[in-house]
A and B are shown apart, each in its own frame.
Chain A
Amino acid sequence: MLKTRIIPCLDVADGRVVKGVNFVGLRDAGDPVDAAIAYDAAGADELCFLDIHATHENRGTMFDLVQRTAEHCYIPLTVGGGVRTVADVRALLLAGADKVSFNSAAVANPGVIAQAADQFGSQCIVCAIDAKTVSPGKWEIFTHGGRKPTGIDAVGFARTVTAKGAGEILLTSMDRDGTRAGFNIPLTRAISDAVSVPVIASGGVGTLDHLVEGVTEGHASAVLAASIFHFGEFTIHEAKQHMAAAGIPMRLT
């Protein structure tokens, strides 16, 4: 049986983990590669690096991180942030990423998803969608860290990008991100039920029950979280045990 995935996400700026990661025994709290190795050993099902200040000038730093991570971690790695073109995808895949995530570039031009999926296969093309509730049962895509509305309906956009070949959707509820109040469940469920590809729920996790809700009520195939893991509040193992106890199939290692 396929297991629900837990994906710790590392926000990276200029080659360092934003705010650091506070694990017992970690050599360098700010080194994404050290953190990735620790999460791999802790039983994470996948890893995600998000380059939050991606610019052309600091691209090389990310390639180096991805390359070093791929040398030490034998679980899938998704990389996002600042991915605009097919050439960006190729460079990250060659560095050792397993999946590459488009965000605002896909909002500006959904065709880039089709180009990338045609060239590299849907299995490695993720589309990140940042959405906010604008009225009950209605969600809109926001860009620029949730500040800029686009007027684009999130559910319709999810259908569009999967039709173009996105193999997975990384859905962040922008009205929940950072609140620790739990996923935006109606949004997560609306998108998960609208598309045939897996949806990763993100944004708002504060408790282990939130992870459970994302799957049982939000119908997500995977859950992504950052702070609850980074600061040692819960281990990956505790999260998996909790989800398994709630009846969700998990890979317990």
Chain B
Amino acid sequence: MMAKSVSVKAGDKSHLVIDPITRIEGHLRIEVDVKDGKVVDSWSSGTLWRGIEPILQGRDIRDAGLLVQRICGVCTWAHYEANTMSAEVALGIRPPTNARLIRNMINASQFMHDHIVHFYALHSLDWADVGGALKADPVKASELAHQFSKMPYNASVDHYKEVIEKLKKFVASGQLGPFSGAYLGNSLYKLPPEGDLIVISHYLDALYIQVILAQMMAIYGGKNPHPQSLVVGGITSVMDMLDAKRLGQYTSKLEQVGDFIQHAYLADIDLITHYYKDEFVEGWGCGSYNFLSYGGFPETNDWQAEYRYLPQGVIYDRDLSKVEKVDEKHITESVAHSWYKGPEKGLYPGDEETVPEYTGLNPDGTVKGEGKYSWVKAPRYKGKMMEVGPLSRLLVGYASDHNNMREMLDMYLEKHKADVRQMFSTVGRTAARALETAYIWYGAHKWVDDLVANLAQGDERTWTRFEYPEEETNTSVALYEAPRGSLAHFVRIKGKEVTHYQVVVPSTWNASPRDEKGQRGAYEESLIGLPVPDLEEPLEILRTIHSFDPCLACAVHVTDVDSGRVKKFKVEV
């Protein structure tokens, strides 16, 4: 069966279906209307539903973390920790200092891993053209690399020659693998050939760096993906924690990775910012006006929001002069355009239920844009759409002058003679992720130092004992930051059993379909106005969608579960 032509002419508009969107986690479809070479309307649709929520019903709360972890094999630590923290809130306990620090250290390796893999394996080919790299001059490439870094990573002329040879042989072999059907030579690529070569050479280097980062997670996490050392009340890797050799392994790998972040990743972002300056303008690939961050990496044992390493706050209408505190009571989810039954109006996650109502596609295979069209729900904060992720965190940190985030962003902006408002763009979102990687790298050093200091005092505790509640607990929430953005797990427990479970994940915010008022989600809003000169190669759309780091496995796999409602779980097609 051949895929049929995906662009449909209707009047003066063309309708384009892009499915599957590759280089993401999970299954995503994007549809857009294009008029006069620009996107005028868009729909984001999650195309897989796994129904993990009813599966959690009645499980032992100690097993729930391992199960929800399987929502996503990429941010493999995030759901595990967010679940564990929400269980700890419900049980009224907090883990000891050592466990908090080890968790932060594991999470730091997760963030760096996720951001680097995202940028290189999943996103860099939207910015760098393999076709260009083949034509590059290795001598000029080395010179160009030195313009953007004093000590550029792996930038010798010989190395660049080797990379070109490798690519040429690869292309000549006729079996192109992942580069098959690549948009070679597309006019929307703006790097010089030498720039393409630099980024693609780092694409290959990053394949090894991500192995080191996974090893870092395994030191205290047991393995990667899907680490297994986190338990309600603390961590289990006490033997590794007390072994100085383990700390040495962690810090030496941290330095190896730091070299790459500093001299490859940040330098490549400067290169891209420089050559894509036409796109580094307010609104290019960013339609969001509101930005949300819950705050991540607790720095105190009671997890106070204001002392988290990643900041907490809400920004409305792109107004960077005010930051509002977050109150989870204002979170609602609407299913007006999602394949679930429910009232038009959004509900608080503690009060929702999830009954699938699949209404199918139009006869021509397109989504029913006016009706229900996605397995993703539409979360809103105070009824407004929000963007979450590294850009939101950086802007909240900038606006609230959190730690040194403002100075960090100012340095980048000064280098490119840019105004902070230019950050509301695809380039800005991509740069924010890189800056955050360096920020987390500094954080990891701090937690290592804190751990050494705490152990030196003779504190070896890694776990807090707890009792199971006889009565059902209130809905308990841990607000958490995953690499892709704000993540909240809502849980109720009775005895050892889970009686209610609900997750609102980062990609649900960003990939959200329209809500009952017709407000688009962040992906949809951000595509409006983007140029699509060639319907065959919608590069600009992919560049913007990828800049969010979509994780559709998360977005569509978890909604909620309520006791006794499993029986109602009936699907009507």
* Binding between chains A and B: no
Write the residues of chain A forming the contact surface with B, with a CB cutoff of 8 angstroms: none
